[in-house]
Amino acid sequence: MTVKKIAVLIGSLRKQSFNRKMALAVSALAPAALQLEIVEIGDLPLYNEELDADGAPPAAWTAFRQTMQDRDGVLFCTAEYNRSVPAVLKNALDVGSRPYGASIWNGKPGAIISVSPGALGGFGANHHLRQSLMSLNVPCMQQPEAYIGGAGALFAPDGSLSNDATRQFMQKFINAFATWVEHNG
């Protein structure tokens, strides 16, 4: 069995965000075929093409691009801000897609979990992210979809999933993602 290295990108910067909790909870549920690792994106400078053009991109961009090149897939755990993707996550997509012709996303299988305290579970962010991933040639898992609403009631004080139905659904999700990565990686 080949273990696939999966980057987990979190679209929320809060240390105790529901999305970080979900990323950690899903990582604990991952089958042995997947090795999930959070790749931090909060320190990436905003993308500016001039910094690539002069041949001296910021060190954080270079490190991020190198890390992502070494990953077999990507799992996004994202919040929803104003019915869309948080800026930190969009910036990571932009940094990774440049310079033109050297995208780290091309062909890398992905999946999305959107987590929100609201009832819609980050539906808008989930679908905006899917739109960007399509243009970046990231084959994104279609089913099961993961729009996790009511997040304030799903986690124990230690950050683990305290809701059995959510834990079972997330187990199904991460198992499906392992199959997706195997067939699309």
* Cα–Cα distance measured from residue 112 to residue 85, given in angstroms and rounded to the nearest whole number: 12
Task: Return the number of other C-beta atoms located less than 10 Å from residue 152's C-beta.
Answer: 10
pLDDT at 16: 87
Per-residue pLDDT at 129: 97
Query: Which domains, and CATH codes, for the chain?
Result: 4-184 (3.40.50.360)
**DSSP-assigned states of every residue in 118-160:** STTTTHHHHHHHHHHHHHTT--B--SS-EEE--GGGTB-TTSS
pLDDT tens per residue across all 185 residues of the chain: 689 999 999 999 998 899 999 999 999 999 999 999 999 999 999 999 999 988 889 999 999 999 999 999 999 999 988 899 999 999 999 999 999 999 999 999 999 999 998 888 888 999 999 999 999 999 999 999 999 999 989 999 998 899 999 999 999 999 999 999 999 97
DSSP assignment, residue 81?
Answer: B
pTM over 0.85: yes
pLDDT of residue 63: 98
Residue 55 pLDDT: 84
Q: How far, in Å, CA of 182 to CA of 165, rounded?
A: 26
Residue 15, classed as helix, strand or coil, is coil
Reading the block at residue 91, the tokens are 């910036």
Rounded to whole angstroms, what are the CA distances from 74 to 66, 67, 70, 155? 14, 12, 11, 23
